[in-house]
Amino acid sequence: MESDFISFGRILRPQGNKGEVRIKMETESAEDFLAFLGKRLHLAGPVDMRPRPVTVEDTWPHKGFMIVKFRGIDDMGAAESLRGAELQIPREDRPPSSEGEYYHDQLISLEVRDASGGRFIGNVSDVMTLADNILLEIEKGGGKTFLVPFVNACIRSIDLDKRVIRVSLPEGLENLNEVGQGAGDGE
């Protein structure tokens, strides 16, 4: 079941002694993060994952993170209790994505099929960013996954209504970076 909320940041730790927290932004830019802070804001977790409304009193950037002061969180102990919590907004408050752009959660669980023959390849199990590159993790079955760069050379089309991504993969890519099979996977 799809959550009614989406996360856009995670509280890392207290910052200072007046209840401020350091937040890892999970948005494309600080501007996007700040725009989300202006929506109906909720916190979920870390103990109770049910989102609860919160109000921001102040915010400012600091060394690649965002520092946020919430109303009612006024000391280091209260801020510490928020460690690991996720900042969320209701899904319906998310601005629509631009043409040809997608939110990562929209891609999770989509079927991946070969663009030329329609062969089923797998399902998107994760979307990750590595060195400013977006990668789709595709689960082939049996717990085996591989990574596909989210670039025009590989991704031919995305149909959110039909829940299908059509891809054109370089020969051998499915096996080249396969994860979950013995050596190199931590076993």
Has this prediction a pTM greater than 0.75?
Answer: no
Alpha-carbon Rg for the chain, nearest whole angstrom, is 19
Domains parsed from the chain with CATH numbers: 5-93 (2.40.30.60), 104-176 (2.30.30.240)
DSSP state of 64: T
- For residue 184, what pLDDT is reported? 44
Residues near 12 by beta carbon (within 8 Å), at least 6 away in sequence: 21, 22, 23, 24, 65, 83
For 41, phi then psi, to 5°, come to -90, 140
Blockwise average pLDDT, block size 10, the chain, 187 residues:
78 96 88 90 82 95 94 96 93 83 87 95 90 88 89 94 95 71 43
Separation of alpha carbons 152 and 183, rounded Å: 31
- For residue 173, what pLDDT is reported? 85
Separation of alpha carbons 120 and 142, rounded Å: 15
- For residue 177, what pLDDT is reported? 60
